Amino acid sequence: MPLILSRTRLLHVSKSKVALVRNWEEGVSLERDAARTVSEVLCVVAADRLRLGVEHRRQADHLMTLSPPLYRSSVSRYYYAMYHVMRACAFIFHRGDDYEDHRELPKNLPTDFDRGVNWQNKLKDARTIRNSADYDPYPKADTSWRKPALVLKSDVDRLLPVARTYLRSKGCIL
């Protein structure tokens, strides 16, 4: 009988644990059911997460236009816009969602993502500001959150086109 795989790969199969074989079967099932490769399914998921980030940005922008503006709430929505957009990029780069934790994601951003800007620090700073806006009773005046909200809005507005370009460069159709 002719070899169906190299001896090295057959040896690998012969020593595989049950969980690994189940993962292979799941991959085959995903590709069959989606009529797409696993890589293409990953891109669909990343695109959906990017859209979630865009929706958070839309909500934040809306909160800023109210009379009076809800700056404290917009801070939270801008952070989540950044978080989900960066999570989509990290998901594609790492080929999995191992770094979804809010503290871990900044440390695990793609190493080939927009090297001209320190997005790691921007995301960490955004989280710190969001935590203050969501949990700290002070400052009380919503207007005190205007400047942080505008900074985060600027960062998100700058991040979105860069993230779209990055995901496209990785083969994702957005």
CATH architecture assignment, domain 39-169 = Up-down Bundle (1.20)
* pLDDT at position 1: 64
Which H helix or E strand runs over 132? helix 119-135
Residues 6+ apart with CB under 8 A from 22: none
Predicted TM-score of the model (pTM): 0.92
Question: Looking at residue 93, what is its pLDDT?
Answer: 98
pLDDT at res. 116: 84
Say if residue 106 is preceded by a cis peptide, omega within 30 of 0.
no
Confidence at residue 75, expressed as pLDDT on a 0 to 100 scale: 98
Residues in the chain with pLDDT values less than 50: none
Q: Of 48, 78, 45, whose CA–CA distance to 61 is shortest?
A: 78
Res 115: pLDDT: 86
